[in-house]
Structure formats: C-alpha cells, structure tokens
Amino acid sequence: MYQIVPVAPGEHQAAGGAGGSPLKKKMAHEGRPMVLAGMLGCVLVLAAVVAWCYYSASLRRAHLLKAELLDLDKDGFVIHNQAGAVIFSMTFSSGTLDLDSCSKEGNILSCTRSDSGKLNFFIQTVRLKDTVMCYRVRWEELQSQHSVEHAMAYNDSHWYGGAETATQHWPIRMQGEQEPQPFITGDVYANRNAFGGILERYWLSSNATAIKINDSVPFHLGWSERDRTLRFQARYQDSPFRPPEGQQALPELSYRVCVGSDVTSIHKYMVRRYFPKPIKVPSPEVFKQPLWSTWALHKTAVTQEKLLRYASNITEYGFTCSHLELDDRYTADYGEFDFDPQKFPNASGMFDELREDGFQVSLWTHPFINYDSINFGVAVEKGLFVREPSGELPALVRWWNGIGGILDFTNPEAREWYASHLRAMKTRYDVTSFKFDAGETSYLPRQFSTLVPLSDPSTFTRRYTEMAIPFSERAELRVGYHSQDISCFFRIIDRDSVWGYELGLKSIIPTVLTISVLGYQFVLPDMIGGNAYPNRTAAAGSDGKNVLPDRELYIRWLELSAFMPAMQFSIPPWAYDNEVVQIAQKFTRLHETLVAPRVLELAGKVLDTGDPIIRPLWWIANNDEAAYKIDSQFLIGDSLMVAPVLEPGKQERDIYLPAGRWRSYKGEHFDKGPMYLTDYPVDLDDLAYFTWVH
C-alpha cells in the first residue's frame, strides 16, 4: 500500500535524493518524445502561419503591381491584350525598382526607390474611351545624374514612325547595334547615319500599340538588332540637351503608351490628341500642276538666260507649271538678299517677262550668312547669330556652301531682320514664295547659346519652320519638328539618282509613309529622277553638259511622282527623247485629272483629322499580316491603290490586293481578295493602279 506524502516547498530537491526514484526516471524518459513532438508541431504551425502570411502578402503585392492589363516587376512591365497575349513590353535597362517602396493608390502605381537611390516612378492608367487604354510612365532620378534607359521589345510586331532616315524601310528595320544618340533633326544627306530633318518622338506598332515620348525628356535613341529592341534613353551628360534653367541635371524618362483595338484606330486617336494640325491647305495649283526647279538641271551655275530658256521650254513642250523655283545660287554671296548682277543683269525685267508668260517664281533661302557676305558684319553688330556657349561671340558653323554664322531664330530681332529681307524680295520682284533649305540642328555648333535657351536643340528647327508661315501658300520646307501646323509643303531630303533604298527610288514610298504617320501630309517627294549628283547617279549618259539619270529610272520615278501629292521636275523630260516627253505629258495629265482632285479632298480633311493622304495598305486591312510588310504599294485615301514598278529591267511586278472588290486601271475586276497578282504586266509607259469598288 502506498501513500502520498506531501512535499513542502523547498524540499523538492532533497526528496529526489541523488538521482531520484526509478519510477520518476522512467516517466521522464518516456515523456521526452512527447515534448519534442509538441515542439515540432508548434514549429510546423508557426511555419504554416508564416507561409500563409507570406502568401497573402505575395497576393497583395501581386495585386498591387498590376494595373488594367499591365503587370509591373522590378525589371520592367508588360501590357496584355484582352485575350491575355503580351503586346507591349518595356525593360528597365539602367536600374531596377525596389518593390518594397511601391504603393498603389487608385489608378496610380508608384515607387520611391531604385537600386541606385531615390526616384519618382509612377505608372498611371487612363481609360480614355472604350477602345483605348493609355499608360503614363515616368522614371525621374532624384539623386543620380546618370542616364535612364528603357528598352522596348518589338514583340513580333511591325513598327513605324520615328524619323526620316537615309536608308528608309517600311516597317522600321533597325540594323546592327547602336548606342543611344541624341534624337534631334539632322541632315541625312550629309551624314547617312543621322536622324533626318523631319522627326517626331512617336512610334506605332501592328499590335495596335503606340508610344509618344514626352517633350521634356532629354531623349536619345538607340537599338539592338540582336535583342530586337529600341533603346529609349534620357541623359544630360555628353549630350546637346540642357536641363531647364534653374533645374538640376537629373534625367527623367517619361512617355505615354496607348493600346487600341487596331493599328488604324489607335493611330487616329494619337494624331488627334497629340499632333498639331495645319490650319489651311496650301495652294491648290501646286497639288494640280508640277513645280519646276533649276537645281538638279543647273546646280549653282544658274543664270538669267538659263532660267528664261527653261521657262520657254516648259511652254514649248506643252507642260503646265504651278511655279518656277529658282534655287542656289542667284546671289553674289551666301547671306545676301538680292541678285548677282553678273549672273542676273536685269532681274526686274526677267521677272516681268516670266510674269507675262504666266510663270510665278519662288526663291531659295537658308539660315546662314557666310563670313565673306556684306551682311555678316551687320548680323554680328546686331547680335543676330547663334553664339558660343559664353554668349560673347558668334559661333561659326560649316555648311555645304562654306563657313559662316547661323541666324538665331529664338531672337525676335533676328526673326524680323530675316523676314523683312524676304518681304522686300517678295515686294520688289513679286516673288510668289520661298524654298526654305536646311534648318536641321546638325548645323548648330556642338556647344552653343541662343537668346532664349533651348533645352531641346530641335526646338531650333521648329523656330525656323515658323519663318515659312507668311509665305505658306507655296512655301517649301525640308525640316519639321512639332511643325505639323505649318501649313506648307514638306520636301523629303535630296534623293540620289539610284534605284535602291538609300536615298534612291525605292526609298520614296517608305519615306513618304513615315513622315505621313508623323503628321506631315502636304508632301513634296523631291525632284523626279533625283538630283543627278556626280558619283551618286545611275547614269546612262549626259545631255552634253550634265550627267543624266538612267532613262528607265527617270521614267519609273516620273510615274511614281504622278501619284504623290505634288510633282516636282528639274531634269526635264526633253533632256532625253520624244518618247519620254510623251510619257511625262501623259502622267502630268493623269496627276491633274485623277490624283489631284482626290488629294485636295483629303487635304481638306487633314485640317480636322490629321489623317494621312498617302496611306499604307494596313490602313484598310489591319488584320492582314501581309499588308503590314508591303513597302512598294500605297493608298491615296481608302480607295485608290498604287503599285509602281521600282526595279530596273522589269515590265511586270507582283501586286498584293487586300480583301475587297478592286478594279484595275485596265478595267479588270478582282473580287476574291486578299490575293497576289504575280508577274502582273506593266509596260514602261504604265503604272498599275486599282480602285476599290463599293
């Protein structure tokens, strides 16, 4: 019989003795696994709780880093379409986000830190209409002065827009690896690797996405053929961009990505929202009748006698003329505003004679005053030139006709001085307008100062284009940046007299389509046959004085130009033979009767919509993969499709007809499109065109 003996406090140790009873030892030994099991259970429960909390936090963060159809992570973001497919992706190349610093409030997802320090980053979702979703993106460094770079992937789509280039493809075909360079206007004739004189920070894709880089960005563009990306970079270091006065040189990359239901509708939306529009249509006569320039024919050797003979021949051979364009060089020195008496001994009489014969005349002009001109000292004394960075001295620049100063068009006094000389010429000789040459920022010094500081050097181009406004009825520019509202003709850069894509015949359609999607619709496609520059001409001979472009090239160029908004001759058809004259007469008539009425109707609509006059095939076939890649056909409006021959030695070509009913210029009907017409016959004196039948 056992008994229970109470143990007083403090006696526990003594009662146990040295090592305790055998019963207690056994109980202690058997209880140890139970304790361990309990502890393990607690650990498992705790781990489960932690995992649940982490999972819940991950779900919350995953929800936090999503916007409508957009997913953000530390390395970039992607945008999906309604079906879930990725249609746009951007990688943060210069840094990664610290996701712990991110938060979401309403339609704005923002972060305050990256791996390089503090920043202001946000993506704001803006649903503007049922079919358009836009995302405002901003990465602004608050500590680092290094560049900000994002890389946009092609995503197996076709891209359009950006800039005029020397080798122009449609869609864009970026070749090689290019480090980001300043995205500013340049002369691609002089520098074949530059961006062209007409550019905008806008790109459009066949995935129905579009991107517009903000004006405030010190924007540089590069690309990688290997990675199939466009590289968008913001930087002030080693760059012609300058931060606004009083602000630190902290780069900011901001842009807007918009997604629509199809490529045509998203482009229409972007143009209506972000591009200025012309306020009037230029002279209908220039759309109807050819412009005749002295340049390719006579270059700088033009004289009064040669100009009068040129005009006489135009009439003699039965051609019409919107106006004659007297190009370089009619002045004694560059920077003067009157006629060289040696070359033009009776300029007033010459103008009277031309006027009596029904000719109007425009004159070539430019922003330079060479150091040997009598006006150079005047401009220095008045402070009219772009200056060295210190602002103390005028900056000398080199251009294709020598060395001199370049007028500062941010300076109201320089603008008025230049404009007053143009007005005086117009009044004295009854000049109809002016061809404004140059204007690219590549003719500014690398370092310079202007009266009004320029954060973006291409603003200089915009200021120069404004000088054409008083003369816009028949004025001609070759540069444009935010200049869509300058209601004049925009000429693509000088073409070489060759067949290919590098400033040749094949480059014309891609270039016109590119500047059209950039918002420039009143296009001059440069001179028929090209400029006939020595060593840059596919030549068949000469007229005894000048190298002539290849005869077949000239004819095919003439045919294409007849279906452009305006035609521009310089090398005349009679420099070849009577057959070429007859072909030229046929196509100038066709331009005036068939093309010009359509173009003028579309030109009137440009004022409201900004829609292209010359359109890509995908404009009416935006679910057609083949239409996205065709660069040798185009539309005038929606219903006239043009398919010129652009290859030497060919009197046939393959033609793509999008879905619909089409009638050929020969009267054939095609109802089962889309289809290819392979080896479609096109004689040397023909151009294939098709009308859409409703």
In this predicted structure, what is the pLDDT of residue 380?
97
In this predicted structure, what is the pLDDT of residue 367?
98
The amino acid sitting at 272 is: R
Three-class HEC string of 652-675: EEEEEECCCCEEECCCCEECCCCE
Contact present, 489 and 524 (Cβ < 8 Å): yes
E-strand stretches of 358-475: 361-365, 368-370, 397-399, 402-406, 433-436
Contact present, 87 and 208 (Cβ < 8 Å): yes
With a cut of 70, list the residues of the chain below it in pLDDT. 1-38, 41-45, 47-64, 539-546
Sign of the alpha-carbon dihedral angle for 290, 334, 193, 550: positive
- In Å, the largest CA–CA distance within the chain is 149
In this predicted structure, what is the pLDDT of residue 540?
54
159: left (phi over 0), alpha (psi -120 to 50) or beta: beta
- Separation of alpha carbons 116 and 110, rounded Å: 16
What would the pLDDT profile of 419-467 be if each residue is shown by its tens digit?
A: 999 999 999 999 999 999 999 999 999 899 999 999 999 999 999 999 9
> Residues 432, 435, 438, CA angle at the centre, nearest 5°?
160
Contact present, 329 and 306 (Cβ < 8 Å): no
Helices (H) and strands (E) in the chain — how many of each? 14, 37
Contact present, 386 and 411 (Cβ < 8 Å): no
- Separation of alpha carbons 165 and 513, rounded Å: 12
In this predicted structure, what is the pLDDT of residue 60?
44
Three-class HEC string of 284-350: HHHHHCCEEECHHHHHHHCCHHHHHHHHHHHHHCCCCCCEEEECCCCCCCCCCCCCCCCCCCCHHHH
* Unique residue bearing structure tokens 């039965």: 318
